[in-house]
Structure 1
């Protein structure tokens, strides 16, 4: 009887293994989508083909349709050239009004919003770009190029205006009172605050929304991929997982 039970157990184990092997052999591989994306810029892209708010939102939307996503990273100014030459499925970030005969634009999925930030103790009234006059301002690199003529003209008259590459240093300069106003993307600010270890960043501050926000979409080579992404994006917004990605990267007490 014991031998019979042992034989039956062996046969059952073998049957399970064969069934599993058959399922693996007959299962179709997951669909793969490859997109051109920009270079690392936390929190949007933290490392290439890895972490980052922007990459996670795209992956999550496609996961609804059981599609994997990988990214090829290059400077944003080369994304159209990369799309043409790399034979990829699309571009991870384009303005929603972008018009190209072979690109199908998704619904906007992420927003960039440059702001001015000052310490509350200064009691500044900054309701428009011209209100930066007379203040010490530190902005991100090439801000005069990206923020338009009015900003460029205003800061050109400032006695103390600087542009720096290290955006963490912008945060330090503000809270150490070495700059009265900093100009940067609100999500970069919130990310830096969340990951800043120094206590001095806890001083009360004020955010001045003097620049227009910019929504961005994904551009795809087919309407089918666009529709799958839009469907998944809406699902993630409805079930709360979209907001969970944002909350995971950004300082919330604002």
Structure 2
């Protein structure tokens, strides 16, 4: 009788643990450092994080961001240190990484101060200037860009995009390569109100599609199904409006 009682208690505990685990499924996902309006690491918010959180909820998972320098996301996933990684380009599709369908587009642009009157009409024109770019830009923006930046008198890729924007505003570089929404947000922080320097946005890149990477192909398939449903929902439209995404006018 005692053995039966102990077995009953153990069975109940195991059953409770399984149920609790099913109720609290979560995925740890590598996320590039702070890049508002897409990612605000201080409070786990932003357009991209809020979107992923809603898509994961449709999959039945909780989203747990792990903040790392953007260039480390892929290696962390490949080494199984996380379950997934955000904002991966197509060139990250190497075994064992399984990329989802594109869930977000970044509009990368070249940015300069209007006072400099720079003539930049295509990526090859960048070779004349000192440039600061986001991490992995040389891998993601095409052969013409990669060749041009090798000719540039100065070229740096930075994990901290606040420092990147500051380099332009302080005159340490002539051109930024950055997503237009990230630039608009960070310039407003660094130069609030009437202190903003007039800038020129050079539209020399096509939009960049980005994907979530998983090691588990079933998770990638589940994500794609949830993504399709989410993209046609009112929740997605409300999120775009909330964060004012895709506003890229010159100022």
Residue 196 of structure 2 corresponds to which residue in structure 1?
A: 201
Residue 34 of structure 1 corresponds to which residue in structure 2?
A: 28
1:192 pairs with one of 170, 186, 190: 186
Residue 151 of structure 1 corresponds to which residue in structure 2?
A: 149
1:169 aligns with 2:162: no
Residue 10 of structure 1 corresponds to which residue in structure 2?
A: none
Residue 13 of structure 2 corresponds to which residue in structure 1?
A: none
1:215 aligns with 2:212: no
The change in CA–CA distance for 1:186 and 1:65 in structure 2 (over 3 A counts) is: same
1:47 aligns with 2:41: yes
Between the aligned partners of 1:38 and 1:141, the Cα distance in structure 2 is: 11
Contact 1:48 1:71 in 2 (8 A): no
TM-score norm. by structure 2 comes to 0.66
Structure 2, unmatched stretches of 5+, are 1-18, 140-144
* Residues matched between the structures, number: 219
1:139 aligns with 2:132: yes
The change in CA–CA distance for 1:212 and 1:88 in structure 2 (over 3 A counts) is: same
Structure 1, unmatched stretches of 5+, are 1-25
RMSD: 3.8
1:95 pairs with one of 89, 104, 111: 89
Between the aligned partners of 2:197 and 2:242, the Cα distance in structure 1 is: 20
Residue 117 of structure 1 corresponds to which residue in structure 2?
A: 111
The change in CA–CA distance for 1:131 and 1:60 in structure 2 (over 3 A counts) is: same
Between the aligned partners of 1:78 and 1:249, the Cα distance in structure 2 is: 26
Residue 230 of structure 1 corresponds to which residue in structure 2?
A: 224
Residue 71 of structure 1 corresponds to which residue in structure 2?
A: 65
Once the 2 structures are TM-superposed, how far is the Cα of residue 237 of structure 1 from its aligned partner?
A: 1.9
Contact 1:90 1:221 in 2 (8 A): yes
The change in CA–CA distance for 1:191 and 1:236 in structure 2 (over 3 A counts) is: farther
